[in-house]
Amino acid sequence: MRRFGKANLGQNWRSICQVCDVTLQQRTVTIVKWIRPPPQLVKLNSDGSCIQGICGSGGLIRNSQGITL
């Protein structure tokens, strides 16, 4: 019998849906908005993420007009 998460595929659909619901409920969404720096200044925005030990990051420098430097 094949396994799907914590549910056996031979079990009823309710147990499979419960496993999927738990997985979906663990996700977090954050909406962010870029705020311009004052004139003659620049802003560094950075972000990073790790999923199951695989990590990545990045950054961006923009001036008060939103132009990437």
Q: Where are the domains of the chain?
A: 1-30, 32-69
SS3 1: coil
Q: What is the pLDDT of residues 31-59, one digit of tens each?
A: 878 889 999 999 999 989 888 888 999 99
pTM exceeds 0.85 for this model: no
Render the burial of 19-55: b for 16+ CB within 10 Å, e for the rest: eeeeeeeeeeeeeeeeeeeeeeeebeeeeeeeeeeee
- Distance, in Å, from the CA atom of 68 to the CA atom of 56, rounded to the nearest integer, reads 21
Give the residues across from 68 on adjacent strands.
62
User: According to the model, what pLDDT value does residue 23 have?
Assistant: 55
